[in-house]
Chains A and B, each alone.
Chain A
Amino acid sequence: MGLIPDFKQIATRSPWIYRINAGSCNGCDVEMATTALIPRYDIERLGCQYCGSPKHADIVLISGPLTVRVKDAVLRMYEEIPDPKVTVAVGVCPISGGIFRESYAVLAPIDQYIPIDVNVPGCPPRPQAIIAGVAKAIAIWRERL
């Protein structure tokens, strides 16, 4: 009985991040990589770490406007992430379509297909903004766990 609360306390310290590219121009992906991988921003101070498999993820960052071609792959990947998960839309693309809004090739806004929890607008948002968004996501994730 006592194990589960202990486990929860430990687990909530280290959400793992997974990144889905839903047809982004790579601008947001570069910023996300910067946020996580270089010591200047160092998101590991929040306990976050990038993981290579959706099955290990807790927080998922989605960039890109969900192009028609990539939709099935993205939805399949999203299904593989275990619950409870928190979704962060990075950049204006997934939030509204941004510069690609109303194009025939994109299905944005992405929250028609995937429940989104936190939005980080910007094209691309600067690393500090992504960190702020991830911090909000961690707060939501702790409530859900």
Chain B
Amino acid sequence: MNFLTIFARNLKQGPQTEAFPLGPAFTPDRLRGRIEFKAESCEGCRICERVCPANAIRFAKTPDGMTFDCWHNTCVFCGNCEFYCPTDAIHQTNDWDLSHVNADKFDMVEHGLIPNQTCVDCGATALNTAPMVKNAKPPLSAEEYTELRARCPKCRAKYLKNRKVPA
């Protein structure tokens, strides 16, 4: 390519410099950025805590239920947690702008709470986690799902066992 072609191409394309910070930044949709947690679809299996190489995720039992905390300042954006999560409870957004002043260092946390509930059958206190029903056949209807969710793990197992499955 001779210099005239390059000259013509550069004239047509304009500068290659990104507009950021004076304009919007180019962000791919699948960029692996900040972790987001949805407590309502979490099964409470704690796989994410186990597979996290940077120990960024911590679950803790509190009187109100189980809390989830992910500290963005030690997360390495590897995506292990999302990969191993059986539901879509944890996922990586494409938000990359996490810069902050040092005073906010310990506020860079994704927090979630899986609340306690009272089982509608036996009255025991158990976590209101999403039921593990991926392999249930036939798939649960919306009402069945709500009924199942309102129970403790033992009563959930019973419920699934006694469920009428059409032949």
Contact = CB atoms under 8 A, between A and B. Distances in A.
Interface string A117-138: 1111111011011011101100
A45 interface: yes
Given A122-B98, A126-B96, A92 B22 contact: no
A123 B99 contact: no
Contacts of B20: 41, 128, 131
- For this complex, into which size category does the number of interface residues on chain B fall? 20 to 34
A117 B17 contact: no
A120 to B, nearest CB: 4
Contacts of B25: 128
A40 interface: yes
Contact of B99 (A97, A115, A116, A133): A133
Interface in A28-77: 39-42, 45-46
B92 to A, nearest CB: 12
B125 interface: no
B120 to A, nearest CB: 43
Contact of B74 (A97, A117, A131, A133): A97
Interface string B91-108: 000001111111001001
Interface in A77-94: 89, 92
From B53, B54, B108, name the one whose CB has the most chain A CB atoms within 10 angstroms.
B54
B76 A92 contact: yes
B53 A120 contact: no
Interface string B50-93: 00011100000000000000011111111000000000000000
Nearest to B71: A96
B108 A121 contact: yes
A47 to B, nearest CB: 12
A119 B22 CA distance: 21
Given A95-B105, A123-B76, A41 B99 contact: no
Given A99-B54, A118-B102, A45 B96 contact: no
Given A45-B22, A46-B21, A119 B105 contact: yes
B73 A40 contact: no
6 tightest Cβ-Cβ pairs between the two chains A and B: A123-B76, A133-B99, A96-B74, A120-B99, A128-B25, A95-B73
Given A39-B16, A45-B17, A98-B76, 13 more contacts: A39-B17, A40-B16, A40-B18, A42-B18, A92-B54, A101-B74, A118-B101, A119-B102, A123-B78, A128-B26, A128-B97, A133-B99, A136-B101
25 contacts: A42-B17, A92-B73, A96-B74, A97-B74, A98-B76, A101-B54, A101-B74, A102-B55, A111-B102, A111-B105, A117-B101, A118-B99, A118-B100, A120-B98, A121-B73, A121-B98, A121-B108, A123-B78, A125-B96, A126-B31, A128-B27, A128-B96, A133-B99, A135-B21, A136-B99
